[in-house]
């Protein structure tokens, strides 16, 4: 009965051109934001900061639910199959919406067909850093060393992660063969680089920034096309390897079939949250670059990212069953 009246109301609203009636309906209860990674990681932190503000804008609380596992695929798959009513949304990342779909042989969901994009929220730079005992100060010196010393290795947060592939892209563009050492997450990878068990690391800038500031890690370059505002002295890798660009990003998605006016309402709340001074400040501390895009821009972004990573994934020969 409820859905019938809502459909009638919706039809009337569209017919008469009064969208306000339908908009007022959503949301009438709390919204669940699924974060496809464990609590405490960078996606989780971004998600919680945004959820807090977005909830205020929507007038309903947003409950954060961490559904970690399988590199983000579990949580993303869960949202793909959720009711398309806007009450279950996903904090997607470069992993869930570009890399995993390219890497996984068995695809748990389709990143384009199964989702309604809401908004691209932030871009988070990655960083190439070395233990200070490694005698290199620039990206070029690292490339030279890698060519003369085949035993050089880099640590990453895991196989098929954006950081592993940032390294793979680096190897392919620089013509080096730095060995990849995967870890279970960024924490243990950092530990081994700080202890100089592995000399080189690709990491998220937020997670490495404390160690770079204290001098325990020497940052050689950020992976974004431009330098990061939080580290103006650290060059972009692209200054040595023109065209090199990778970053991690966070974006909101609803399940495919979510009514456009609901998506619009969520987009409005998300974009407003990204313009909030407190959020801007937090994101800056976090070295995250604010975007706050439209749904259409996010859709384009996803296709562009898939197109960009496909050759890297093929060349690095990463595939997971």
**Interface residues with other proteins (CB under 8 A)?**
38-42, 44-45, 48-49, 52, 64-70, 73-74, 77, 103, 108, 151, 153, 158-160, 179, 181-185, 187-188, 190-192, 194-198, 206, 209-211, 213-214, 216, 282, 285-286, 318-321
The CA-to-CA distance between both ends of the chain, in Å, stands at: 44
CA angle, 299 then 302 then 306, to 5°: 145
User: What CA–CA distance (Å, rounded) separates 303 from 74?
Assistant: 21
Residue 186: helix, strand or coil by DSSP?
Answer: helix
For other proteins, which is the closer residue by CB, 23 or 39? 39
For other proteins, which is the closer residue by CB, 206 or 295? 206
**Structure tokens given for 218:** 């020497």
**Structure tokens given for 51:** 């959820």
Minimum distance from residue 207 beta carbon to other proteins (Å)? 9
For other proteins, which is the closer residue by CB, 13 or 34? 34
- Per DSSP (E only), the strands in the chain are 31-35, 62-66, 88-93, 115-130, 153-156, 179-182, 200-204, 218-222, 247-255, 289-290
* Contact criterion met (CB below 8 Å) for 68 and 38: yes
For other proteins, which is the closer residue by CB, 100 or 258? 100
For other proteins, which is the closer residue by CB, 150 or 257? 150
Minimum distance from residue 319 beta carbon to other proteins (Å)? 7
What b-and-e string marks burial along 292-310, b requiring 16 or more CB atoms within 10 Å of the CB? bbebeebbebbeebbeebe
For other proteins, which is the closer residue by CB, 25 or 48? 48
User: What CA–CA distance (Å, rounded) separates 247 from 55?
Assistant: 27
For other proteins, which is the closer residue by CB, 67 or 174? 67
Minimum distance from residue 225 beta carbon to other proteins (Å)? 24
Q: Number of helices and strands (H, E) in the chain?
A: 13, 10
Minimum distance from residue 170 beta carbon to other proteins (Å)? 18
For other proteins, which is the closer residue by CB, 209 or 223? 209
**Residue with structure tokens 């409005």?**
268
User: What CA–CA distance (Å, rounded) separates 21 from 37?
Assistant: 36
Residues 6+ apart with CB under 8 A from 221: 127, 128, 139, 234, 235, 236, 237, 239, 240
Minimum distance from residue 8 beta carbon to other proteins (Å)? 36
């Amino acid at each position: 009965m409820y859905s019938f009246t809502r459909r009638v109301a919706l039809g009337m609203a569209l017919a008469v051109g009064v969208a306000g009636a339908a908009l007022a309906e959503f949301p009438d209860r709390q919204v669940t934001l699924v974060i496809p990674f464990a609590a405490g990681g960078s996606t989780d932190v971004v998600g919680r900061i945004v959820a807090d503000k977005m909830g205020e804008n929507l007038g309903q609380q947003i409950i954060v639910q961490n559904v970690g596992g399988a590199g983000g695929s579990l949580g993303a798959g869960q949202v793909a199959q959720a009711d398309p009513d806007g009450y279950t949304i996903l904090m997607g990342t470069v992993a869930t919406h570009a890399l995993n779909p390219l890497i996984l042989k068995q695809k748990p969901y389709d990143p384009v067909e199964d989702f309604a994009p809401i908004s691209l929220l932030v871009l988070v730079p990655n960083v190439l850093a070395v233990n200070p005992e490694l005698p290199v100060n620039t990206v070029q010196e690292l490339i030279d060393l890698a060519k003369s010393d085949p035993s050089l290795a880099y640590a990453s947060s895991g196989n098929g992660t954006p950081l592993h592939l940032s390294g793979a892209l680096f190897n392919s563009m620089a013509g080096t063969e730095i060995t990849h050492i995967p870890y279970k997450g960024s924490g243990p990878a950092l530990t081994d680089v700080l202890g100089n068990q592995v000399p080189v690391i690709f990491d998220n800038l937020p997670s490495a920034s404390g160690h770079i500031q204290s001098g325990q890690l020497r940052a050689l370059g950020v992976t974004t096309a431009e330098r990061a505002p939080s580290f103006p002295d650290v060059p972009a890798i692209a200054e040595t390897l023109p065209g090199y660009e990778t970053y991690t990003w966070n974006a909101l998605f609803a399940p495919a079939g979510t009514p456009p006016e609901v998506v619009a309402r969520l987009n409005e709340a998300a974009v407003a949250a990204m313009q909030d001074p407190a959020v801007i400040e937090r994101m800056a501390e976090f070295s995250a670059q604010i975007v706050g895009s439209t749904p259409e821009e996010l859709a384009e972004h996803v296709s562009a990212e898939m197109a960009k990573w496909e050759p890297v994934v093929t060349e690095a020969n990463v595939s997971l069953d």
